């Protein structure tokens, strides 16, 4: 069976071949809801790129389309210049993905799951065995290597999924909320691993709600809301003289305080 190709998109500018990830005109509609309304992004190679936005902004939908997990209604995505939909095997071999709400084969042990991920990526058994041990150590999961993933905590599950995304040493890591539910020590270890990966020439794209983390960790950031990119650039350029959090709130708006919840004040409640 031939690979389904995306409808031709003659009006879109070509992807930037120098970018690690380049998307043009991505659109996605679910029924009446336009989740992503024409997003263009170039993630520079070697950058630590943060994607931030309010709940429902379209981050997960955009990342899913940019990594081949969800077919766009319109638009293109390229990984280091390779069209994701025209040459999916080649493009996906360069990607390590931690999707949101990933379903794992959780009746495998942690070590088995990493072995499975490594073999699936075509690595030989000796390399898979070495890397499995290295990753279990890096993620502080050695003691739980032979336990079933179904019995892992949320943070442990996130870490084993992240390890699985890294085992084939991809050129680009795309991680949806990688620090959610992860304890502070493990989060610091993961940040170190990701920083070293970027120092060695890799590219990381993370979505996060934690502005402070993105400000400290990322070199570049895109703020998206309502399926549009509101601002993108280096973190310093986007935030200017403000903190990233203040810039985010200014751009996105929506601060409501406790307006309309006066009944929640315990002092005015009936006893």
Ligand X SMILES: Nc1ncnc2c1ncn2[C@@H]1O[C@H](COP(=O)(O)OP(=O)(O)OP(=O)(O)O)[C@@H](O)[C@H]1O
Interacting residues with ligand X (CB under 6 A): 30, 33, 35, 53, 55-61
User: Closest approach of Cβ 59 to ligand X, in Å?
Assistant: 3
Q: Pairing mode, if any, of strands 74-79 and 19-30?
A: antiparallel
The DSSP H or E segment spanning 128 is helix 125-138
Question: What is the rounded CA–CA span in Å between residue 173 and residue 136?
Answer: 18
CB closer to ligand X out of 57 and 160? 57
User: Closest approach of Cβ 165 to ligand X, in Å?
Assistant: 18
CB closer to ligand X out of 50 and 53? 53
User: Closest approach of Cβ 264 to ligand X, in Å?
Assistant: 23
Question: What is the rounded CA–CA span in Å between residue 123 and residue 132?
Answer: 12
Cβ distance 67 to 54 under 8 Å? no
User: Closest approach of Cβ 116 to ligand X, in Å?
Assistant: 27
Alpha-carbon distance values, 264 to 87, 254, 268, 271 (Å) = 55, 20, 8, 13
Question: What is the rounded CA–CA span in Å between residue 61 and residue 22?
Answer: 15
CB closer to ligand X out of 14 and 56? 56
Cβ distance 196 to 173 under 8 Å? no
CB closer to ligand X out of 30 and 105? 30
CB closer to ligand X out of 32 and 200? 32
User: Closest approach of Cβ 162 to ligand X, in Å?
Assistant: 18
């Amino acid at each position: 069976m031939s690979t389904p190709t995306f409808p031709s998109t003659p009006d879109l500018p070509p992807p930037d071949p120098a970018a690690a990830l380049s998307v043009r005109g991505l659109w996605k509609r679910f029924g009446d809801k336009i989740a992503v309304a024409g997003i263009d992004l170039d993630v520079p190679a070697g950058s630590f790129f943060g994607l931030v936005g309010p709940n429902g902004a379209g981050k997960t939908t955009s990342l899913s389309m940019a990594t081949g997990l969800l077919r766009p209604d319109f638009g293109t995505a390229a990984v280091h210049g390779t069209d994701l939909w025209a040459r999916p095997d080649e493009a996906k071999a360069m990607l390590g993905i931690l999707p949101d709400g990933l379903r794992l084969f959780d009746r495998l042990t942690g070590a088995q799951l990493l072995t499975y991920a490594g073999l699936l990526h075509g690595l030989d058994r000796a390399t898979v065995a070495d890397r499995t041990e290295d990753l279990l150590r890096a993620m502080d999961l050695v003691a739980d290597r032979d336990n079933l993933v179904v019995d892992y905590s949320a943070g442990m599950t996130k870490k084993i999924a992240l390890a699985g995304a890294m085992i084939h040493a991809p050129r680009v890591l795309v991680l949806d909320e990688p620090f959610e539910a992860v304890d502070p020590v493990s989060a610091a270890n993961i940040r170190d691993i990701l920083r070293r990966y970027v120092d060695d020439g890799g590219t990381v794209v993370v979505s996060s709600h934690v502005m402070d983390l993105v400000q400290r960790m990322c070199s570049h950031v895109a703020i998206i809301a309502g399926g549009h990119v509101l601002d993108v650039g280096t973190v310093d350029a986007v935030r200017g003289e403000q903190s990233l959090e203040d810039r985010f709130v200014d751009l996105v708006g929506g601060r409501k305080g406790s307006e309309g919840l006066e009944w929640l004040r315990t002092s005015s409640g009936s006893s």
